[in-house]
């Protein structure tokens, strides 16, 4: 029986947080045995907001090294840069012809980013979900791991696939969402009502996968807790609930086991232990990432090979799409 195809992409726009790691990357090692996996660095998507070119290139290498350090196997899976496969941009143009301005302007992320980047409201920002649809549909993905903030974009992808299929005949698979039960959303250490984000203006709100042990321990020591003294989950304890989830995911224990382990303990001791578990979990990854980064030639070779494999799959779909819409195929003379 053929494995289902899964596509996952992250923008190389800065070092990732433990929220990114727990919500997605930590699961990839086992996912590679269950699915045919494509892991994409969505560098074209980053351009919807202003980037420092040198920083973007450095971030791209860093994220590639981090993927590998976290257990991504470039033999089992396809690892590639979005910009290395021109079919992404080409399919976006075709999908634009079945996309409506009204549905794109209603996208929550477009509204949010327009407010944050009022000096740079560009068409790429609005068209971002169509490029995301092209990313997914090119590879006939069955499943797409998404966070809660990407649900609306996946729904649009499904709508565009159905709309195209109805207009031109069966062409695209209609993908399903893959959302992990726990770890899909890790919250800020300073504002536990908000998702942990690398763009948080308060550096104490997030833990980076690049933070050393001392930094990790300091950030958890400063983590916001709740009234009372019990270490338990609950709507009235968002800070402690977040810390319990983080500890559970790094220690491999269930949330219930964590609550029992820290029954009667004080908040200060609990936060220290959570910090220690996180530091112990990310330090080997950080060391391996830094080792891989020293050999840019190795990374370039892997990305080139990954792009060839991705392009082979993407171009099969693109040729089918071009034929369906009536474009004349190029005949090599």
Distance CA 198, CA 304 (A): 28
Whether residue 253 lies in the annotated active site:
no
Catalytic-role residue among 4, 76, 185, 198: 198
Catalytic-role residue among 113, 173, 271, 289: 113
Whether residue 113 lies in the annotated active site:
yes
Catalytic-role residue among 195, 237, 271, 289: 195
Nearest Cα residue to 15 out of 263, 240, 268, 196: 196
Whether residue 198 lies in the annotated active site:
yes
Catalytic residues: 113, 195, 198
């Amino acid at each position: 029986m053929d494995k289902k195809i899964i596509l996952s992409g992250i923008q190389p726009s800065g070092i990732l947080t433990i929220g990114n790691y727990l919500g997605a990357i930590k699961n990839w090692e086992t996912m590679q045995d269950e699915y045919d996996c494509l892991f994409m660095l969505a560098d074209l998507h980053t351009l919807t907001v202003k980037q420092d070119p040198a920083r973007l290139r450095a971030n791209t290498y860093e994220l590639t090294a981090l993927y590998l350090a976290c257990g991504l196997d470039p033999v089992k899976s396809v690892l590639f840069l979005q910009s290395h496969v021109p079919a992404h941009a080409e399919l976006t143009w075709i999908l634009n012809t079945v996309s409506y301005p009204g549905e794109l302007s209603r996208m929550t992320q477009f509204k949010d980013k327009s407010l944050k980047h009022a000096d740079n409201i560009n068409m790429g920002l609005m068209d971002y979900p169509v490029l995301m649809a092209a990313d997914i549909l090119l590879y006939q993905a069955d499943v797409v791991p998404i966070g809660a903030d990407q649900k609306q974009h996946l729904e649009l992808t499904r709508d565009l696939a159905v709309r195209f299929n109805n207009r031109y005949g069966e062409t695209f698979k209609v993908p399903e969402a893959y959302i992990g039960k726990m770890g899909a959303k890790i919250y800020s250490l300073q504002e536990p009502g908000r998702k942990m984000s690398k763009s948080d203006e308060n550096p104490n709100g997030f833990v980076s996968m690049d933070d050393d042990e001392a930094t990790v321990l300091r950030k958890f020591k400063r983590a916001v807790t709740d009234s009372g003294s019990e270490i338990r989950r609950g709507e009235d304890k968002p800070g402690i609930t977040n810390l319990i989830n983080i500890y559970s995911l790094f220690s491999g224990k269930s949330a219930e086991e964590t609550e029992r382990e820290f029954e009667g303990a004080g908040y200060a001791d609990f936060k220290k232990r959570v910090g220690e578990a996180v530091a112990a979990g990310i330090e080997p990854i950080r060391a391996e990432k830094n080792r891989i980064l020293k050999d840019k030639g190795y990374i370039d070779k892997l990305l080139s090979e990954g792009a060839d494999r991705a392009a082979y799959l993407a171009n099969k779909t693109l040729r089918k799409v071009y034929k369906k819409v009536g474009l004349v195929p190029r005949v090599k003379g």
